[in-house]
Structure 1
Amino acid sequence: MAGFHSRSTGSVDVRVVPHPAITLVLEFGNGPLVVDAATGRQQRGNLVAGFLHSAVRVRGENVECVQVRLSPVVARAVLDVSPSELDHTVVALDDLWGQDAARIRQQLGDATSWQHRFALVEALLARRAEREPSVDPEVAWVWERVMVSRGRVRVEDLAAEVGWSRKRLWSRFRSQVGLPPKRAAMLVRFDHAAHRLAAGEDAARVAADSGYVDQSHLHRDVLAFTAVTPATVVSQPWLAVDGIAWAGHGAGGTV
């Protein structure tokens, strides 16, 4: 998780690209935080985003929030809904959590430090995650393999390794994670490549190292996920800030 606030600038207006995680935004500032999807749909306040197909605009004034990147392996237990039911868009967390959403917003607003806020969120997520296993062990294992390989893995090989047919893996993975295995691998590979581009690395080297056929293949994936070219990605704040907010992928980053 990471903490965000716009006290120094007064406002925020950025485009956020798809990421290989279910995203929770727990907003407690004077806000509200507003998300505009490509479909024209708009959401405010506490939010949960499934696996997005395209970038969304995030904006607001005096925004303060805790953002959580949640593995789809535990998402169903935490959210009370499968990632496949989030319909690749942004929905109001209040609709899923009811009073829990209102309660955590109040607690975050009353907290006097970011460390306290992170502790509150962690305790809430841990309590909700205890309810029931979210996915089959085989599905969890395949997700981990996709993440560790940075998307450079064949679905046929994954199915063979868990002893399932390709069709069975596709069906179970899609219904429990929210994406088909091949699409999940594409998203993870893109995420790794996009962050390397944002760090200033050469596009040709990034394409070769990330498992793309060539630089044109990388260009098409970046365009599909972000609606901008690789040359434009390097200047986008939503990727540049990750090295600060999510350094080490631990809890407690603030931006």
Structure 2
Amino acid sequence: MESVRREPVPVLRGLVYRHTGFHLPDAAERARLELPSGAATMLIAFAEPIRIGLVSEGESEVFQRTSFLSAGRAIAAIGRHRGRVHGMELTLSHTGAHHILGVRMAELAEGFPTLGEVLGREGELLVEQLASLPSWEARFATLDAYLARRAADSQVQASWQVTRATRLVAAGWSLRDIQRDVGWGERHLRSRFLDQVGMTPKAMARVLRLQTALRAYLSGRNWAQAAVLARYHDQAHLGHDVKAITGLTPGRLAELRRGAPPGSALDRLPGRVTSVLMG
């Protein structure tokens, strides 16, 4: 498998985390569990479509997509593909996606909208242009230029209160203290998060707390220690969250990671646990 990663140009820092180009020749069906990580993802595919749906104990709608967006999720998704996989993956901050795409982020959390649905014909032309280019460097440069132009022309800007609140959530502050710090009540903060992040502050806190626990465990701690470090009441509560969010028990998730540390070649972001190969 060919995989090439690049950091975005400086003007996109804080909005975009990373670009990845990938090419996997014809292969048998593969399944990949994508964990919520506190970031938004844009997938731009040049080959076969991917079947993707949310983890669910009951019936869950499965979407067939080539190029699409995933954001505002507080539960894992499973993507399945067969044959050649070729394309690009772009990881953005939620507020960065809000600024660049100019949409209400909660709308992106409803299914997995295509680039055409979000950006119109412009999104479809972008995919065609990127697919026609001869090298990853040319594709990265073209994508950076497109995103920088949209960012410069955007009339949508995340409020400083939401930007600060997301940092405080990541730092483990209580929601009450965050509301006091930014001067907003619970209802208003929740509404603005849905607009600019795509999930509620409580949901984001849950996602990032699980990420803290997984990072601790996969860095060598045991599950009890990971629960303490992530501020769970006890190990049982951590186990419940792992199962509810990923659909796997802690033991099964660890088994499928096969010892890969946080931020490995499998993951979309440094220091986070974003993906698990299901076999």
Q: TM-score, normalised by structure 1?
A: 0.84
The answer as to 2:35 corresponding to 1:35 is: no
The answer as to 2:108 corresponding to 1:86 is: yes
Q: Determine the structure 1 residue equivalent to 2:8.
A: none
Deviations 1:131-185, CA, capped at 9 Å, x for gaps? 12332111111112223x1xx2101111111122333322322333221111111
The answer as to 2:22 corresponding to 1:4 is: yes
* 2: CA distance, partners of 1:104 / 1:16: 25
Q: Determine the structure 1 residue equivalent to 2:177.
A: 157
The aligned amino acid for 1:160 is: R
95, 101, 117: which one aligns with 2:117: 95
Q: What secondary structure is seen at the aligned counterpart in 2 of 1:81? A: coil
The aligned amino acid for 2:25 is: R
Deviations 1:193-243, CA, capped at 9 Å, x for gaps? 224434554211111111111111111111111011111112335994842
Gaps of 5+ in 1: 250-255
Q: Determine the structure 1 residue equivalent to 2:31.
A: 13
* 2: CA distance, partners of 1:10 / 1:41: 19
The aligned amino acid for 2:24 is: S
TM superposition shift of 1:109: 1.8
Q: Determine the structure 1 residue equivalent to 2:14.
A: none
Q: Determine the structure 1 residue equivalent to 2:41.
A: 23
Percent of aligned pairs sharing the same letter: 28
* 2: CA distance, partners of 1:58 / 1:236: 15
The answer as to 2:225 corresponding to 1:202 is: no
* Distance 1:82-1:238 versus aligned 2 partners, 3 A rule: farther
The answer as to 2:194 corresponding to 1:171 is: no
Q: Determine the structure 2 residue equivalent to 1:54.
A: 75
* 1: CA distance, partners of 2:112 / 2:184: 32
* Distance 1:75-1:155 versus aligned 2 partners, 3 A rule: same
Q: What secondary structure is seen at the aligned counterpart in 2 of 1:132? A: coil
* Distance 1:194-1:27 versus aligned 2 partners, 3 A rule: same
TM superposition shift of 1:91: 1.5
* 2: CA distance, partners of 1:133 / 1:56: 28
Size of the aligned set, in residue pairs, is 245
* 1: CA distance, partners of 2:160 / 2:263: 30
* 1: CA distance, partners of 2:211 / 2:160: 25
* Distance 1:186-1:125 versus aligned 2 partners, 3 A rule: same
In 2, are the aligned partners of 1:193 and 1:210 still within 8 Å (CA)? yes
125, 144, 148: which one aligns with 1:126: 148
In 1, are the aligned partners of 2:51 and 2:79 still within 8 Å (CA)? yes
* Distance 1:53-1:185 versus aligned 2 partners, 3 A rule: closer
The answer as to 2:260 corresponding to 1:228 is: no
184, 190, 194: which one aligns with 2:210: 190
In 2, are the aligned partners of 1:12 and 1:59 still within 8 Å (CA)? yes
In 2, are the aligned partners of 1:51 and 1:89 still within 8 Å (CA)? no
Q: TM-score, normalised by structure 2?
A: 0.78
132, 139, 164: which one aligns with 1:141: 164
* 2: CA distance, partners of 1:33 / 1:200: 34
Q: Determine which structure has the larger helix proportion and give its number.
A: 1
* Distance 1:34-1:122 versus aligned 2 partners, 3 A rule: farther
Alignment of 1:107-122 (within 5 A): 107-122=129-144
* Distance 1:7-1:123 versus aligned 2 partners, 3 A rule: same
Deviations 1:37-68, CA, capped at 9 Å, x for gaps? 45223131101112224322212221112111
* Distance 1:104-1:51 versus aligned 2 partners, 3 A rule: same
Query: Cα RMSD over matched residues?
Result: 2.5
* Distance 1:156-1:247 versus aligned 2 partners, 3 A rule: closer
Q: Mean alpha-carbon deviation: is it higher for 93-102 or for 105-114?
A: 105-114
